[in-house]
Structure 1
Amino acid sequence: MKIGYPCVNESLDCTSTSTFRLASYTDERLELTVRNNLNCLLRILEFNVAQGMLFFRIGSGVVPFGSHPVNTFPWQTHFAAEFRAVGDYIKAHNMRVSFHPDQFVVLNSPDAGIVERSIAELVYQGSMLDLMGLDSTHKLQIHVGGLYGDRELAISRFIATYHRLPAAVTARLVIENDDRLFSLQDCLRVHEAVGIPILFDNFHHECLNHGESMSEALRLAAGTWHPERDGTMMMDYSSQAPGERKGKHTTSLVEELFREFLTHLQSVDPDIMLEIKDKEISARRAVAILHELGLASPTPQSLPI
């Protein structure tokens, strides 16, 4: 079982998703920014390995305007060695990484332009994993999309668009149950149609479900992952922020709730992404709990928690 956090490390003095305004785009600025982003990404991965955090969601903006027509710089070839070095580090330390494209990626939109831009973004983000030399167990995570007033039509549009995606994207694509529109049962319908794995979100399931217990929901989601092609099931973990609107994530890991959640895993052994605001701080605490319970291997070069 691996523990991770998304996109930003708040303990380091750099970011792997630095960008600039579209109006100020130049090839020179892009080259400098991508180089700095990749250098920072490697620093973040090294930090995470030292803490035993072996699951990381890479930010979408490693290459600014990576899927935008303005970007004609040959970054794939120019930075091939740097991407390969990041991938070699990930493989050497048995890490797992993913991307979670931004909310503008909506494959079931009735707007053809949005769909085409969404496909281009998935191709861009998947190509980074390809450049790293990583296999199809490293995933691209999206939602089913919007309802647009008709659930059945919304699901059928997603399925139709899925069939148009290049194989390099469908090999990596997973869908997540959300907290308002598409439940685990909706995602299972999509899986039955196209075979896409379901990345389970425990907190979203608590907000939107059809009466499935947490243990049953975990088992159903885990059953959509092919052990060789997809690897270990991925999931997102969070809990409700006290006193806030329903669906707002907590700022920090609530240890008693996390321990209680672990009792529902039973035969499921997922890689867990903590969607919690203090990121690596809570991730380190979660790693310590897994060590205590014998659910994770020893942490190398561990710093005080």
Structure 2
Amino acid sequence: MRIGYPCVNESLDCTSGATFRLASYSAERVELAVASNLICLQRILEYNVAHELRFFRIGSSIVPFGSHPINTFPWQARFEPEFRAIGNYVRAQGMRISFHPDQFVVLNSPSEDIVQRSIAELVYQGSMLDLMGLDSTAKLQIHVGGLYGDRDLAISRFIATYRELPTAVQRRLVIENDDRLFSLRDCLRVHEAVGIPILFDNFHHECLNHGEPMAEALRLAAATWHPERDGVLMMDYSSQQLGERKGKHTTTLEEDLFREFLTHLHGLDVDIMLEIKDKEASACRAVGVLRELQLIAAEAASLS
């Protein structure tokens, strides 16, 4: 079991998502930004290893405008050694890496332009994992997309688009159940059609479900992951922020709720991404809970 947090480390004095305005684009700006972002990414990973945080979601802006037609800078060739070094570090430390492309990635959109831009973004982000030399257990996480007034048609469009994706993207793509439109049951329909794994979000399941108990929902999602090709179940974890609208993520880990959630695993191995505002602070506390409950494997702890 691994614990992680997404994109930004608030304890360090750097960012791995430095970018600039499209109107200011130049090859020199791209090169400087990517160099800076990769240096910071390495620092974040080293921080995470030191704190036993071995699951990390990299931000989408490592390469500014990475999937935009304006970006013709050969960043893959220029930064291949740096990406490879990061991948070597990830493997040596027993870490797991993912990306969660931005909300404009909608594979079931009725707009062909949006679909093509979405595919370009997935190709871009997947290519970074390829440059790192990471296997297909490093994933690209997206939602099914929009409802557009017809659930069945929306799901059918996703399935049709998925079948046309490059193989390199298909092998990394996972779908997440969301809190308003597409439940775990809907995601299972997509999985049954094309075999795509389901990244389970416990908080979204609490907001939108069909009565499946948490333990059953976890088992259903985990069964969609092939042990060798996909690795163990990835999931997002959060809880409701008290006094806020339904679906608002908590700002910090509620340890008692987290302990209660862990009772639903019943021995299931899972990598948990905390979608909680205070990032690594909550993740470090979650690691403390796992240590207390003896849920962190001794061999994983010894890698640091």
Indicate whether the TM-score tops 0.5: yes
Question: Which residue is 1:137 aligned to?
Answer: 137
SS in 2 for 1:130: helix
C-alpha distance in 2, partners of 1:185/1:191?
10
C-alpha distance in 2, partners of 1:28/1:35?
11
C-alpha distance in 2, partners of 1:106/1:267?
34
Amino acid at match of 2:84: R
Please list, as runs of the form range in 1=range in 2, the aligned pairs for 1:70-219 lying within 5 A after superposition.
Answer: 70-219=70-219
Alignment of 1:42 with 2:72, yes or no, is no
What is the CA-CA distance between 1:301 and the residue it aligns to? 10
Question: Which residue is 1:257 aligned to?
Answer: 257
Q: Tell me if the contact between 1:183 and 1:208 (Cα under 8 Å) persists in the aligned partners.
A: yes
What is the CA-CA distance between 1:267 and the residue it aligns to? 3.3
Q: Tell me if the contact between 1:144 and 1:187 (Cα under 8 Å) persists in the aligned partners.
A: yes
Q: Runs (4+) of structure 1 moved beyond 3 Å?
A: 297-302
C-alpha distance in 1, partners of 2:150/2:84?
44
C-alpha distance in 1, partners of 2:133/2:302?
25
SS in 2 for 1:147: coil
Question: Which residue is 2:5 aligned to?
Answer: 5
SS in 2 for 1:125: helix
SS in 1 for 2:115: helix
C-alpha distance in 2, partners of 1:31/1:195?
38
C-alpha distance in 1, partners of 2:75/2:119?
19
C-alpha distance in 2, partners of 1:241/1:288?
22
SS in 1 for 2:61: helix
SS in 2 for 1:221: helix
The Cα offsets for residues 73-103 of structure 1, whole Å up to 9 and x where unpaired, read as: 0000000000000000000000000000000
SS in 1 for 2:259: helix
Question: Which residue is 1:241 aligned to?
Answer: 241
Amino acid at match of 2:151: R
Q: Tell me if the contact between 2:94 and 2:303 (Cα under 8 Å) persists in the aligned partners.
A: no
Q: Tell me if the contact between 1:106 and 1:145 (Cα under 8 Å) persists in the aligned partners.
A: yes
C-alpha distance in 2, partners of 1:86/1:212?
40
C-alpha distance in 1, partners of 2:59/2:71?
18
- Report the RMSD for the aligned CA atoms in angstroms: 1.0
Of stretches 293-302 and 228-237 in structure 1, the one that deviates more from structure 2 is 293-302
SS in 1 for 2:231: coil
Of stretches 262-271 and 172-181 in structure 1, the one that deviates more from structure 2 is 262-271
Q: Tell me if the contact between 1:67 and 1:124 (Cα under 8 Å) persists in the aligned partners.
A: yes
Q: Tell me if the contact between 1:57 and 1:99 (Cα under 8 Å) persists in the aligned partners.
A: yes
C-alpha distance in 1, partners of 2:288/2:297?
10
The Cα offsets for residues 58-87 of structure 1, whole Å up to 9 and x where unpaired, read as: 000000000000000000000000000000
What is the CA-CA distance between 1:269 and the residue it aligns to? 1.2
C-alpha distance in 2, partners of 1:41/1:193?
36
Question: Which residue is 2:69 aligned to?
Answer: 69
- TM-score normalised by structure 1 residue count: 0.98
Structure 2: 5+ residue runs without aligned partners? none
Question: Which residue is 2:286 aligned to?
Answer: 286
Amino acid at match of 1:276: I
C-alpha distance in 2, partners of 1:301/1:137?
19
What is the CA-CA distance between 1:268 and the residue it aligns to? 1.6
The Cα offsets for residues 11-66 of structure 1, whole Å up to 9 and x where unpaired, read as: 00001011000000000011000000000000000000000000000000000000
- TM-score normalised by structure 2 residue count: 0.98
Q: How many residues align?
A: 302
Question: Which residue is 1:295 aligned to?
Answer: 295
Q: Tell me if the contact between 1:52 and 1:300 (Cα under 8 Å) persists in the aligned partners.
A: no
Amino acid at match of 1:215: A
Amino acid at match of 1:245: R
SS in 1 for 2:199: strand
C-alpha distance in 1, partners of 2:157/2:189?
13
Amino acid at match of 2:221: A
C-alpha distance in 1, partners of 2:286/2:57?
16
Please list, as runs of the form range in 1=range in 2, the aligned pairs for 1:18-29 lying within 5 A after superposition.
Answer: 18-29=18-29
